[in-house]
Chain A
Amino acid sequence: MRFKKAIRYIIGKLIKLAVLLLAVSILSFILVSNSPVDPIQSYIGADMTRVSPEQRQSIAEYWGLHEPPVQRFLHWGKNLLQGDMGTSLIYRSPVSSIIAERFVASLALMSLAWVLSGLFGFLLGIIAGMKEGTWIDKIIKGYCFTLASTPAFWLGLVLLILFSVWLGWLPIGLSTPAGILADEVSLLERIRHLILPVLTLSIVGVPHIALHTRQKLIEVLNSEYVRFAKAKGELGFTLLWNHGLRNISLPAISVHFASFGELFGGAVLAEQVFSYPGLGQAVVQAGLSGDVPLLLGIALCSTIFVFIGNSIADILYKAIDPRMRRGDL
């Protein structure tokens, strides 16, 4: 019975994903094909004057630009279903291989930052919640509100000034030092280039989870069973361990999983500031130079990424709370 339910749930989720991807691809295709940015012009760049109208025509024909949008969409969709996402105009190689390569770099950045911000946020939230109303709570709350209003890219710039320009501890940009072949870069160098982007992204991710944890913990601490436990003489850490943690940790993890969208947005900015060669930098490049296939590919990929995060959050909610399970699984 349970097995059947799970299967039905998974199939439902997959159908949802398929519909979502279809909608997102139509939406982004409409957006992209209406753009006044001329792909041929951005492809050729400054040499535009040297290209004759006939050559232009042949490029347009080669890319299938003369076809009506609906036909182009069907064509693109058919290739997409066969696993061919087209060829990137700026990197001159298949979109799927660029995305795969860049996604690994971004994933390293995002997963590290995700774990770190989760841990710190959770910890700060617990401290603030346990000491509700005291000056520690006020400091943590103020810190979180300030951080929530901080532009992520500006924080990156400040960290860059502090650690790279003034202190000179860390490199200024790029994920590898200049003048060395990509294969010869040592792991240590890679890590050195990863520190600042990860730091930026972690700091930006803290407030949301910290404020959420704080709120939940305060709710738990005001409950009847905690009052009873206090009456029995439980205090401080034991109280938290026995009654608090279990109730707040899983919701916090769910909320953290549901924040993949913001994580991705933050990564785009952090990668741009530190010229870290990840997916975020690629999407900015693609947008600036009118690289439509890459732009569409990354839009779809990031949608899947967010969907996975939301689905995990959803499943966790159901696993924690029987009331939600009864509802609609």
Chain B
Amino acid sequence: MGRITWNLRQRTLGMIIFSLLLLLGMIVTGIVIGDDKLAINPDAMNQEPSLDHLFGTDWLGRDMLARTLKGLALSFFVGLLAASSSAMIALTFTLIASWNRALDRIVTWLIDLFLSVPHLVLLLLISFAIGGGFKGVVIGLALTHWPSLTRILRAEMLQVKTAHYVHLSKQLGKTPIWIARRHILPHLLPQLFIGFLLLFPHAILHEAAISFLGFGLPAEQPSIGIILSESMRYLSTGKWWLAVFPGLSLLLMVLLFDTLGQHIRKWVDPFHGQKGV
């Protein structure tokens, strides 16, 4: 029996399906888990990881695995909202920048402005302005993740704009809106989709960070950031499982999203995909 050898395209597709399935599994179980699993259970307080409670239990006897999965599902929704709004902002700005030189300058300046404040500090300021909570996190994440994607999209847009057919369209008297819609937008869509997928891991990590610092989701939500910041109070007494497993699960989810994004990029755009790391 010969060893099955897969070519790069098949392997890439395999990785895409693999990470997609794992992610789906994580998110769906997170959604399906009922609130009864999160109930306080005084009989099983502070238990170490065992077969009954794979991730152990916390100081109220809640199962950490259930809390972690719930938290991951929550992270996913926050990430989804934030990344899609960020991608929309990026697309809008790119199309605005395609209009003329002056608008392009303004957009570039805005990108530089947003990148000049440390990301976390800006997130903190926005979250503070909105008063924290779910809304604060989502708006904060959406307003701080667009600059890098806008840069990529703008570069793509500038390239398309120099193409012959765009010049021809212009000479035929087409309006900038027509050119933006018919010529530029279709070229931006693949980049936009991949950019959106690659924003996901960033958004999720930042959500956890800002919740950890106490500006994000309210404390009663089972978010990973909250779980980790709560665990800090119990670490010195040796309850390592409160921090290790939830964080590890978050790492896994972010890693899977990153892998998914990178491989989809490789798959749709083999030339750039293989050049990049």
Residue in A20, A148, A160, A161 with the greatest tally of chain B CB atoms within 10 Å: A161
Q: Given A157-B243, A158-B247, do A287 and B212 touch, yes or no (CB 8 Å)?
A: no
Q: Which of B27-35, B78-86, B124-132 lines the interface with chain A? A: B124-132
Contact among B124, B243, B258 with A287 in the assembled complex (CB-CB below 8 Å): B124
Q: Contact at B117–A288, with CB atoms within 8 Å?
A: no
Q: Contact at A151–B235, with CB atoms within 8 Å?
A: no
Q: Contact at A149–B201, with CB atoms within 8 Å?
A: yes
Question: In residues 250-283 of chain A, which contact B (Cβ within 8 Å)?
Answer: 260-262, 264-265, 268-269, 272-273, 283
A272 to chain B, nearest CB (A): 6
Residues of B within 8 A of A105 (CB): none
Q: Contact at A287–B128, with CB atoms within 8 Å?
A: yes
Question: In residues 177-232 of chain A, which contact B (Cβ within 8 Å)?
Answer: 211, 214-215
A 298-327 to B, binary, CB cutoff 8 A, 1 in contact else 0: 110011011100100000000000000000
Residues of A within 8 A of B89 (CB): none
Q: Contact at B118–A306, with CB atoms within 8 Å?
A: yes
Residues of A within 8 A of B238 (CB): 165-166
B214 interface hit (Cβ, 8 Å) = yes
A107 interface hit (Cβ, 8 Å) = no
A174 interface hit (Cβ, 8 Å) = no
Give A288 to B128 CA distance when docked, in angstroms. Answer: 8
Residues of B within 8 A of A305 (CB): 118
Nearest residue, chain B, Cβ from A146: B255
Give A260 to B119 CA distance when docked, in angstroms. Answer: 11
A127 interface hit (Cβ, 8 Å) = no
B18 interface hit (Cβ, 8 Å) = no
A40 interface hit (Cβ, 8 Å) = no
Contact among A145, A161, A215 with B255 in the assembled complex (CB-CB below 8 Å): A145
B 122-144 to A, binary, CB cutoff 8 A, 1 in contact else 0: 00111111110000000000000
Q: Contact at B118–A272, with CB atoms within 8 Å?
A: no
B158 interface hit (Cβ, 8 Å) = no
Give A158 to B228 CA distance when docked, in angstroms. Answer: 11
Residue in B115, B213, B236, B243 with the greatest tally of chain A CB atoms within 10 Å: B213
A240 interface hit (Cβ, 8 Å) = no
Residues of A within 8 A of B235 (CB): 157, 160-161, 165
Give A36 to B130 CA distance when docked, in angstroms. Answer: 7
B 244-267 to A, binary, CB cutoff 8 A, 1 in contact else 0: 100100110011001100000000
Contact among B129, B131, B236, B251 with A154 in the assembled complex (CB-CB below 8 Å): B251
Q: Which of A21-29, A55-63, A94-102 lines the interface with chain B? A: A21-29
Give A224 to B128 CA distance when docked, in angstroms. Answer: 54
Nearest residue, chain B, Cβ from A172: B236
B146 interface hit (Cβ, 8 Å) = no
Q: Given A149-B201, A269-B213, do A161 and B240 touch, yes or no (CB 8 Å)?
A: yes
Number of interface residues of B (CB under 8 A): 42
B8 interface hit (Cβ, 8 Å) = no
B102 interface hit (Cβ, 8 Å) = no
B207 to chain A, nearest CB (A): 10
A79 interface hit (Cβ, 8 Å) = no
A153 interface hit (Cβ, 8 Å) = yes
Q: Contact at A31–B125, with CB atoms within 8 Å?
A: yes
Q: Contact at A261–B115, with CB atoms within 8 Å?
A: yes
Q: Contact at B232–A295, with CB atoms within 8 Å?
A: no
A139 to chain B, nearest CB (A): 15
Give A318 to B199 CA distance when docked, in angstroms. Answer: 30
A53 to chain B, nearest CB (A): 23
Contact among A37, A157, A260, A299 with B232 in the assembled complex (CB-CB below 8 Å): A157
Residues of B within 8 A of A283 (CB): 121, 124
Q: Which residues of B line the A interface, CB within 8 A?
A: 112-113, 115-121, 124-131, 201, 205, 208-209, 212-215, 228, 231-232, 235-236, 238, 240, 243-244, 247, 250-251, 254-255, 258-259, 277
* Beyond known contacts A157-B235, A265-B118: 10 more, CB 8 A cutoff: A151-B205, A153-B208, A157-B228, A161-B235, A260-B118, A261-B117, A264-B121, A287-B213, A303-B116, A306-B118
A–B complex contacts, Cβ < 8 Å, 23 sampled: A23-B113, A24-B117, A35-B130, A36-B130, A36-B131, A141-B277, A149-B205, A149-B258, A151-B250, A157-B247, A165-B240, A211-B277, A214-B277, A261-B115, A261-B117, A262-B118, A262-B119, A265-B120, A287-B124, A299-B117, A299-B121, A302-B121, A303-B118
